[in-house]
Amino acid sequence: MKLGFLVDLNLCMGCKACEVACKVENEVPLSSWRLRVKYIDIGSFPNTTREFTPLRCNHCESAPCERICPVSALHYLENGIVNVDNSRCIGCAGCMMACPYGAIYMDPETNTADKCTYCAHRIEGGLMPACVVACPVEANIFGDIEDETSHISRYIMEHQSFGGGVQVRKPEKHTSPKHFYVGGGNDSLNPLAHERIEGYGLFNNITHLKEIGDPHHSVLDRFLTPIFGAHHDHDKNEGFIDMPNSDKHESHEEGGH
């Protein structure tokens, strides 16, 4: 069995239900994401289109994150999922440097690496990943790509020969991703093909995280917390984001819709 994922971008309408379901199911902390939907605008007014691209871990067959992890915290499950063992992770961030898809984050609560696991805990119990269940248009298709009769295998076979075909992100990296897209183009799948222009976001102007992991987790805390426990309030998320309009100056523009 080799589990794979396919997103039909022709169906995706950018509702972010998958993103929210993932956050809730996996209790993904503020400032972090396992699955996100990116909006990309193409063309010039009035001839413009908006594309939606859900992005998550690609569960590569030749995963750079698994290779670089010094303690096997990132490891393969028998069904092909690249899983994370948080209790073993040393927080070196090597996996974050290795993943060509930027799919791994440093959990600010555990200070260990984390990422999408295709909801391995749900699959173990015979359930579909939370994002698949939440999608209102069934754009997310999940299943065994080694089983020719599975929905995902048939979907791949049907779409391979026409349109844009079935694509993966960054095939030149030779990571053999097990996450496929139908209906995607260079604009939606190649991060170098689109610009992130400061101030042109729809709802915010945050471009980069200020901190990786917990901003209150100082060098001293890193040694003392495992022994004495955390002494600060994790509910405060100040400093997670680099927000030029925040704090004393003026109210920030986030959430303006």
Partner 1 sequence: MDHGTVIEATKAVVTLDVALPGIIWGWMITLNMWAKSIGTGVIIVGAYLLYRHKKEDMPNLRWLMPLISFVALNVFLLFTLLDLHQPLRMVNIFFHPHWTSAITVGAWMATLFTALITIMALIGFFDEFSDVRRNCAFAKKIRGMSGFYEKVFPFVVFLAFPVTMYTAIIMAEASARELWAAPAETIQMILAALMVGSASLTLIADKWSEGARKDLATVLAVSVLLSFLMYMAEYFFSFKAAEVEATLEYVHTGGSYHTQFWAAMVLGYIIPFFIAKGSMKVENRTMMKFAAVTTLIGLYLAKSTWLEIPQMLPLS
Considering only residues 78 through 137, tell me which ones interact with partner 1, judged by CB under 8 A: 88-94, 96-103, 105-106, 111-112
Among 3, 18, 33, 81, binds partner 1 (CB under 8 A): 33
**Residues 2 and 146 sit within 8 Å (Cβ to Cβ):** yes
Question: By CB under 8 A, how many residues form the interface with partner 1?
Answer: 75
State the residue for tokens 């396919």: 6
Task: Report the alpha-carbon distance of residue 22 to residue 134 in Å, rounded.
Answer: 9
Site for partner 1 in 178-207 (CB under 8 A): 187-188, 191-203, 205-207
Q: Choose between 149 and 220: whose C-beta lies nearer to partner 1.
A: 220
Does residue 245 bind partner 1 (CB under 8 A)? Answer: no
Q: Regarding beta strands 179-182 and 166-167, do their DSSP bridges make them parallel or antiparallel, or are they unpaired?
A: antiparallel
Q: What residues between 139 and 168 interact with partner 1 by CB under 8 A?
A: none
Q: What is the C-alpha separation between 244 and 204, in angstroms, rounded?
A: 11
5 vs 153, beta carbon nearer partner 1: 5
Strands 166-167 and 140-144: unpaired
Q: Is 61 in the site for partner 1 (CB under 8 A)?
A: no
- 27 forms part of the interface with partner 1 (CB under 8 A): no
Is 41 exposed, middle or buried (CB count within 10 Å of its CB: 0-12, 13-18, 19+)? middle
Assess 217 for contact with partner 1 (CB under 8 A).
yes
